[in-house]
Structure 1
Amino acid sequence: MRRLRPETTYLVYSTGEGFFFHLMSVLFSVFLIVELDLGPLQLLLMGTVLEVTYLLFEVPTGVVADTVSRRLSVVIGLFGTGAAFLLLGVSGSFTVAMISQALWGVFATFQSGADVAWLTDEIGEQAAQPMYLRSEQWWQAGSLAGIVVGVTIASFTNLRTSILVSGAGFVVLGLFMALAMREENFRPERREGERLHTSLATTVREGAAAVRAHHVLLLILGTAALHGMSTEGFDRLSDLHLIEDIGLPTLGGLALPVWFGVLDGGALVLGIGALAIVKRRVHLQGHAAVARVLAVVDIVLVVSAVAFALVASFWWALAAFWVVGTLRSVREPVFTAWINQGLDAKTRATINSVGGQADAIGQAAGGPGIGLIARSVSVPTALVVSGLLRLPALFLYARAIRRGTVGTLAPGEIDEELHLEEDASDPPHEGPETSGPHDPPEAPHAPESPGSPEAPVAG
């Protein structure tokens, strides 16, 4: 099989990952709650196991992508994720489900950072920057199709089948990437004759030095940690809150899987529309402008997450849920563009991995505490606390705006890199672009871009 253009390959990768991920994620929480009968603390502990393994392996696997091969990292990640989802599909106990989450956490780190770094290497930083938003839309299109197919499969068979099909799909996608993914511009950061373990250690030191050298990059990582801490509770408890505290309406006699398909599908459709508006209307002129956009997004996220926890009406809760999903879809590619400015190519995957690790730290640190609040007080109270945990990020945004730029680019130079205002309606055949960078594993409920293990959010 002839290797494809990087843009085409990344498009297939993002669309396929969105599709197969949502085959599993749309009913992930429902499977844990209904089939395995897990309570709120167990749901949060599932997330903690996922994030701790992600945290432990994120930097080592990111270094592998910088010193060995980006392509190899991505392929390993896809095969391993498929195996983890297959194990989840056959699990019948909390323990086996936890093991599947640990495996997912490990293999997701191979993709995290490596896919974005590979794309940037192959087409250049300037061409890659505007692709983040456009590629997110392709991922969301695949995700929407995955939700529809996943709900259909579950409705005609059972909840396990869609998870098993998802696992098999990731294995097939890994095989495709192994055959189609070219790697022509990657230069392993390893001196001739240098031992691999020495090169790995050198890359880790250089990545750590890059982070320490740029104060704004440290602030960005702080906001990533707070984002992870806030999203973990919402991702793990939102489905439980809808099922047990609010209750699903009997409208049209819709089955449980269909309702959660509506929840996730609606959030994704709104996210696609919001991204199109951002691309057309929002002009990110300089580093400070990016921080301001993210600050506004986070303020509305706090309000909508708290509203979701407190309202008694299903329809108001649905509206708040969709606002959260829409804003998180917009936030992801903007944040990715922010962290990738001015990074040295030899540590780019490592720095992206550190960004994912910061998010995982937040999720792992916040999960158990939120779970205890949910068990000892109530799920709505735990959701309110989760939403409010995002507030300190506003102070970090303010400091980032005052500090200046990230990496080696001055604020004025960043304007030339962040061409995010391109027309969202460009036809796919004109340089197909794919989904943005991947985040740490989150609950498959909150529709964010592929990548790191995120607990299935709405669904």
Structure 2
Amino acid sequence: MMKLFKKGEFRLLWPFYLDALISPLFFFVPAFLVLYFNGIGLTFFQIGILMAVSNLTSLLFEVPTGAIADLYGRKFSVLTGFALEGIGFISLFFIQEYSLMILAFGFLGIASTFSSGAKEAWVIDLIRSSKKNLQKGYFTKSQSIDGTALILSGFIGAYAVKTFGLSIIWIATGISYFLAFFILLLAKEKKIPNRTKDFSVIKITKNSLNSISYSRKHKILFSFLLAAALLIFASNLEGQLAWITFLQDLGMQEYTFGYLWSTMAAMAVIAPLVASKLIKPKKERQTILLLIILGAITLLLVIFVNQMLPAIALLLTVGFFAHARRPAERVYFHRFVPNKLRASVGSVESMIISLTGIIAVPVAGLLVDHVGARYTIMSSAVVMLIAAIVYYKIKETVE
């Protein structure tokens, strides 16, 4: 325990680490979502629209709910979001009509905004209040623990789908969020002295506008957010819609996607541990830049792949670079965000991600439907290289 955690770290953050270990066990919906919807007759464009609706409602509610977390408490906001998401996913088990699916995904988008920026801000506030240097270690370990649970979730998902059918993914995901809710009920929260208890639309709006203005005027943070948007666009192009279709075209059977999910989760465990050795203080940007370039080069190699095993190897390599990049990105982001705006600026980031997804997912669906999965995956490499240029041009002269 002492070798894995620094002194006082486990006592302070154990609910977050427990959440990272337990709740992902039933979160295997990404492995089967495209298969489920395609199996009931939806086109890839229609699936993309569902995902885009979720991103649209996230965009509309992201900053206001982030400001609510700053004003009324990160813990309250996170727990509210998890409860609502649990309800939303379980409702999809009972829904058959496409119009109702759109409404459900819209609801899930709103629910996700309550926790998107607030959970990370909750942890950062706790760490900073302890006066300990735990930030880098937390992001690295929590991602690795989460990945370990996801390894098991793939096997659980394969068994559940084989036994109960694809629709079980909605019940299981709902359970995942309710587990997170009850575990994080036990977590501490740093009290913010000047937090108001009176609901004020004016204060929430002012806090939201301050966060947007800060993000726009801060040159480094603005460049970070621009690059993040490009990387999210690229990840959507080479995401579930493209890769699942590509692997199915090469002959991959449906039940094996659960095992692939577990293998990808293993990469999520290994990659942050490797990344922790690469990340040097104040050198996060260089690490991020290198990993973006390596990922883009790997994606371009898909033009030569015509067999299943090389395709899986390519997918896992791309996933490795993406997971290795995330701890450096989170540390780099938080270097430039003040405490009082941390949740709100985090929600600005999530808002940008949502806006990007609104555009990118339907585009990915259209490309898969009309030009094929292979060329859709290749196009993502071009977008990643543009993001690399943005990172290359960042000048860290002012923090």
TM-score, normalised to structure 1, is 0.79
SS at match of 1:366: helix
CA contact (8 A) 1:47 1:232 kept: no
CA distance 1:340–1:312, shift in 2 (3 Å): same
Q: Deviations over 1:293-337 (max 9, x none)?
A: 111111122222333465211111111111122222112222111
Tell whether 2:45 aligns with 1:41. yes
Structure-2 separation of matches of 1:346 and 1:60: 15
AA partner of residue 76 (structure 1): T
SS at match of 2:209: helix
CA contact (8 A) 2:15 2:187 kept: yes
How much has 1:362 moved relative to structure 2?
Answer: 1.9
How much has 1:121 moved relative to structure 2?
Answer: 1.3
Instruction: Find the counterpart in structure 2 of residue 272 from structure 1.
Output: 269
Instruction: Find the counterpart in structure 2 of residue 336 from structure 1.
Output: 330
Instruction: Find the counterpart in structure 2 of residue 183 from structure 1.
Output: 189
How much has 1:261 moved relative to structure 2?
Answer: 1.8
Structure-2 separation of matches of 1:173 and 1:155: 25
CA contact (8 A) 2:81 2:112 kept: yes
CA distance 1:89–1:200, shift in 2 (3 Å): same
How much has 1:69 moved relative to structure 2?
Answer: 1.2
Instruction: Find the counterpart in structure 1 of residue 230 from structure 2.
Output: 226
2:205 to 177, 180, 201: 201
Instruction: Find the counterpart in structure 1 of residue 352 from structure 2.
Output: 358
Structure-1 separation of matches of 2:193 and 2:23: 26
Instruction: Find the counterpart in structure 2 of residue 301 from structure 1.
Output: 295
CA contact (8 A) 1:14 1:138 kept: yes
Instruction: Find the counterpart in structure 1 of residue 242 from structure 2.
Output: 237
2:310 to 291, 311, 316: 316
AA partner of residue 186 (structure 1): I
CA distance 1:175–1:381, shift in 2 (3 Å): same
Q: Deviations over 1:213-272 (max 9, x none)?
A: 3200000000111011111122232112211x2222xxxxxx622x11221111221231
SS at match of 1:285: coil
Equivalent residues in 2 for 1:254-265 (5 A)?
256-257=254-255, 259-265=256-262
CA contact (8 A) 1:62 1:349 kept: yes
Q: Deviations over 1:363-394 (max 9, x none)?
A: 22222333323323323222222332222112
Tell whether 2:69 aligns with 1:65. yes
How much has 1:397 moved relative to structure 2?
Answer: 0.6
The percentage of aligned residue pairs carrying the same residue is: 19
Instruction: Find the counterpart in structure 2 of residue 157 from structure 1.
Output: 164
Structure-2 separation of matches of 1:176 and 1:403: 39
SS at match of 1:389: helix
Structure-1 separation of matches of 2:319 and 2:166: 23
CA distance 1:56–1:398, shift in 2 (3 Å): same
CA contact (8 A) 2:18 2:183 kept: no
Instruction: Find the counterpart in structure 2 of residue 171 from structure 1.
Output: 178
Structure-1 separation of matches of 2:362 and 2:59: 15
AA partner of residue 281 (structure 2): Q
Aligned residues: 386
SS at match of 1:90: coil
Structure-2 separation of matches of 1:155 and 1:397: 44
SS at match of 2:295: helix
Structure-1 separation of matches of 2:100 and 2:243: 23
Tell whether 2:127 aligns with 1:134. no
Tell whether 2:393 aligns with 1:404. no
SS at match of 2:281: coil
AA partner of residue 191 (structure 2): N
5+ residue gaps, structure 1: 249-254, 409-459
Structure-1 separation of matches of 2:244 and 2:150: 18
Structure-1 separation of matches of 2:291 and 2:217: 28
Report the aligned-residue RMSD: 2.2
How much has 1:184 moved relative to structure 2?
Answer: 3.7
Q: Deviations over 1:415-450 (max 9, x none)?
A: xxxxxxxxxxxxxxxxxxxxxxxxxxxxxxxxxxxx
CA contact (8 A) 1:189 1:346 kept: no
Equivalent residues in 2 for 1:204-215 (5 A)?
204-215=208-219
Instruction: Find the counterpart in structure 1 of residue 14 from structure 2.
Output: 8
SS at match of 1:256: coil
Structure-2 separation of matches of 1:215 and 1:356: 18
How much has 1:188 moved relative to structure 2?
Answer: 5.0
TM-score, normalised to structure 2, is 0.90
How much has 1:403 moved relative to structure 2?
Answer: 4.0
Instruction: Find the counterpart in structure 1 of residue 5 from structure 2.
Output: none
How much has 1:140 moved relative to structure 2?
Answer: 0.9
Instruction: Find the counterpart in structure 2 of residue 282 from structure 1.
Output: 278
Instruction: Find the counterpart in structure 1 of residue 30 from structure 2.
Output: 25
How much has 1:96 moved relative to structure 2?
Answer: 3.1
Structure-1 separation of matches of 2:79 and 2:303: 39
Structure-2 separation of matches of 1:273 and 1:6: 25
1:144 to 151, 156, 168: 151
Structure 1 window deviating more from structure 2 (113-122 vs 98-107): it is 98-107
CA distance 1:247–1:19, shift in 2 (3 Å): same
